[in-house]
Amino acid sequence: MKKILKVLVFALAVITVFGAFSSTAFKSYETYTYSIDGEPLQCPTAYRPTEVADAFSMKLADISPEGMSSFDGACDIVTDNEGNVYVADKNHNRIVVLDKYYVAKDIISTYVDEFGYSQRLSSPEGVFVTNPDLTSDGSSYVYVCDTGNRRIVIFDRDYNYVKTIDKPDTPLLTAESFAPQRIAVDIYGRIFIATTATHEGAIVLSDNGDFTGFIGAQRVTYSFIEMIWRRFQTDAQKDAQIARLAIPYSDITVDDEGFVYVITNSTEASDKKTQFAAIKSKSAAGSPVKKLNSAGDEIMKRNGFFDPGGEVAVTSTTVSQIVDVAVGKEGSWSILDKSRSRVFTYDQNGNLLFAFGDKGDQLGNGSEFVSMAYQVVDGVYYLLLLDNTDYKITSYAPTDYYETIISALRNANEHNYSESIFFWQDVLTQNNNFDLAYIGIGKALFNQGKYKQAQEMLSAAYETKYHDKAFVEIRKSIIQKALLPILIVAIVLIVLVLKFLGYAKKVNKAVSLKPGKKTYWEELLYAFHLVFHPFDGFWDLKHEKRGSVRASLTIMLITIASFFYQAIGQGYSFNPKGDYSTVAVQVIAVAVPVFLWCIGNWCLTTLFDGEGSFKDIFIATGYSLAPLPIFVIVSTILTNVMTAGEGSMVGLIVGIGYVWVGFLLFFGMMITHDYTMGKNFITTLGSIVAMAIIIFIIVLFSSLVAKMLGFIIAIFSEIRSRT
């Protein structure tokens, strides 16, 4: 009869917990996404599109031997130091050269090689022009990816043939894998080749065309399920699987310092998921854009809110399809999103500066932009976008907003912090949501020693690194000025704590000899004895009635209050966005696990001859929580005087609290039920499993109730509509 009664109580408890879960256990939070896909950001544009005259099309028809004037095979566009524009026209087997006014001036199509044979380009997909102001010997050449012929052809700046680089003599490259599609040459003459036919990374050749190796090889990753499955496969099954290859690079360029930017553009669902995962984690492995040094190491800084890889998508199917990268002024660089015909520009630290563009037939929009390049004319950085669907080139001129941002970056790069403040303030007058401006002003104020003002500006952009640096300087100043009062306060607090513990010890000793019912205060003070003496503490808690349900509930309420204080009282470095949760959420977070544990442990120990009643279990569980509020409150206070870099100490303190609670809970249950160590260990694991089962029952029951209510509502709606 007693067991039947317990089963009925257990069922009632399940329904009670279900009610708590179904009402307030789950709270949905609004997620802030940094996206430009929906409503456009209300900020000034950095570039304005300009009409490109049709002069190049008309002139092109005159100078082309075949009379071909359209760009229906255009796939790559670059510029040189004089502002000339080079377009790789794959379908027409040519490189079209335009002057800085976009008037066609020449075509590179046929040439005579060093042996006197007439040669013709075949499906050229890439072109690159070296800058004579940067090369060591002042030379400048035009490098053409003669993709169809699987070679590189080099011309001088008068477009005369210089030499051909065929596949290097190395077993690491086959005739099929050496199919240059994009090319870049650094200031030392090293040649970098990107091709989708090679999965080992970018091909590196010397200035003479000798193979020197691969750089930036992509890492092949497997999902967790795939790794587990491969553990159970035989060698034959593994060999039968299709080999997973690394994503090849589809585009490449170099900056003035010789660093290499590479692009991966994969439409595979698994690769898109990897790219999507990298958006918030800012993982270089999943990013579509990488910056490599001469050794092939990834060195790109990713200090922005998200990975500098285009759109901050909400699903893996809507991530950006990056097809080109171009290097601009003051360390800025831009990438082209083919799927949206949009350009994203970042600074050298990976912070988004601006984004513009869209699909459409309006001026400045495009159908399918496939390549871009910066064109420098009289010191002005124009941006050219090549549209392979509308067969056009769109030129974008920088606005005052762009020039203000670049001026601020230039002064920051040159450590002219006072000057940079004026430009960042000008940016804010045009766009008060520009986070980098707040960060730039904050950094400048920090370098001027104005730490308080720096913190105010940095907190406006949720920046923590320099905010912590400013906080360290302020903290150092406070300690230097008020070291003695701080020490006095600390000593007084320590003395007060020791005095209180001595008082609690004295009361607990006196109460141990006192017969009869204990007072509420005495029951609460007993927790200070139990946490330090768990074995005899839990024995007296049960057999000497030293505790009570009301004291356990009080300890639970104190624990809830401590977690609520943690939610609202953490320092800026640990909670820069000021996120917090309500008291109701904290009540659920503490009360539900406690009651689930008590119910699960009571049901299980009833079947295994446990001597503790549900009341005993609840009281022991409540008293086991006693150390936790102290550790939570102390750690929360420390977050206001420590930086994020010192946060390991805060985590350690909270961790000690949880371990202490687990220790008390384990031995509390062992003494309450009079179990051996081994039996108590098994029932503890069983209690955890029982908690999971209860949660499953709650979810299942709530689903059934929801369906029943939906069915009843549908019936009433049908009856009402028919009557």
Question: Where residue 223 falls among pLDDT bands split at 50, 70, 90?
Answer: low
Which of the listed CATH numbers 3.40.50.300, 1.25.40.10, 3.90.230.10, 3.40.710.10 matches domain 410-481? 1.25.40.10
Question: Where residue 57 falls among pLDDT bands split at 50, 70, 90?
Answer: low
d(CA 542, CA 613): 10
Q: Is the pLDDT of residue 16 over 90?
A: no
C-alpha closest to that of 154 among 142, 172, 168: 142
Architecture of domain 52-398: 6 Propeller (2.120)
d(CA 28, CA 663): 34
**The residue type at 209:** G
Identify the pLDDT of residue 198. 86
Identify the pLDDT of residue 246. 75
How is the chain split into domains, by residue range? 52-398, 410-481, 516-706
Question: Where residue 68 falls among pLDDT bands split at 50, 70, 90?
Answer: low
Cα dist. 483→479, 642, 666 in Å? 5, 17, 43
Q: What are phi and psi of 545, to 5 degrees?
A: 55, 45
3-state secondary structure of 257: coil
Identify the pLDDT of residue 132. 94
Contact 413, 330 (CB under 8 A): yes
Contact 257, 330 (CB under 8 A): no
Compute the mean pLDDT over every residue in the chain, rounded to the nearest whole number.
85
d(CA 261, CA 346): 13
Token pair recorded at residue 362: 């309006």
Q: How many residues does the chain have?
A: 723
Contact 567, 578 (CB under 8 A): no
Q: What's the number of CA atoms in the CB half-sphere (13 Å) around residue 681?
A: 3
Q: Is the pLDDT of residue 242 over 80?
A: no
> pTM above 0.75?
yes
Angle between helices 549-569 and 627-638 (to 10 degrees): 10
Sole residue written with tokens 């003459």: 189
Identify the pLDDT of residue 103. 85
Contact 24, 584 (CB under 8 A): yes
Identify the pLDDT of residue 228. 61
Identify the pLDDT of residue 599. 92
Q: What's the number of CA atoms in the CB half-sphere (13 Å) around residue 460?
A: 18
Task: Please compute Rg for the chain using Cα positions.
Answer: 35
Which range, 80-89, 266-275, 358-367, 703-712, is most confident?
80-89
> Can you list the pairs that 147-151 forms with residues at least 24 positions away whose Cβ atoms lie under 8 Å?
147/90, 147/122, 147/123, 147/179, 147/180, 147/181, 148/93, 148/121, 148/122, 148/123, 148/124, 149/121, 149/122, 150/175, 150/178, 150/179, 150/180, 151/180
Question: Where residue 236 falls among pLDDT bands split at 50, 70, 90?
Answer: low
Please count the other Cβ atoms lying within 10 Å of the Cβ belonging to residue 165: 22
Per-residue pLDDT tens for 641-652? 999 888 888 889
Identify the pLDDT of residue 137. 85
3-state secondary structure of 444: helix
Sole residue written with tokens 């800026």: 572
Identify the pLDDT of residue 229. 61
Per-residue pLDDT tens for 330-345? 999 999 999 999 999 9
Please count the other Cβ atoms lying within 10 Å of the Cβ belonging to residue 70: 14
SS (H, E, C) 339-393: CCCEEEEECCCCCEEEEECCECCCCCCECCEEEEEEEEECCEEEEEEEECCCCEE
Per-residue pLDDT tens for 648-693? 888 899 999 999 999 999 999 999 999 999 999 999 999 999 999 9
Mean pLDDT for 415-431 is 91
Q: Is the pLDDT of residue 41 over 50?
A: no
Identify the pLDDT of residue 196. 87
Identify the pLDDT of residue 219. 66
Identify the pLDDT of residue 176. 85
Identify the pLDDT of residue 69. 65
d(CA 536, CA 640): 38
Sole residue written with tokens 């730039």: 440
289, β-bridge pairs: 263
Query: Where does 188-268 have alpha helices with state H?
Result: 224-231, 235-240
Identify the pLDDT of residue 227. 54
C-alpha closest to that of 436 among 48, 39, 31, 43: 43
Q: Is the pLDDT of residue 583 over 60?
A: yes
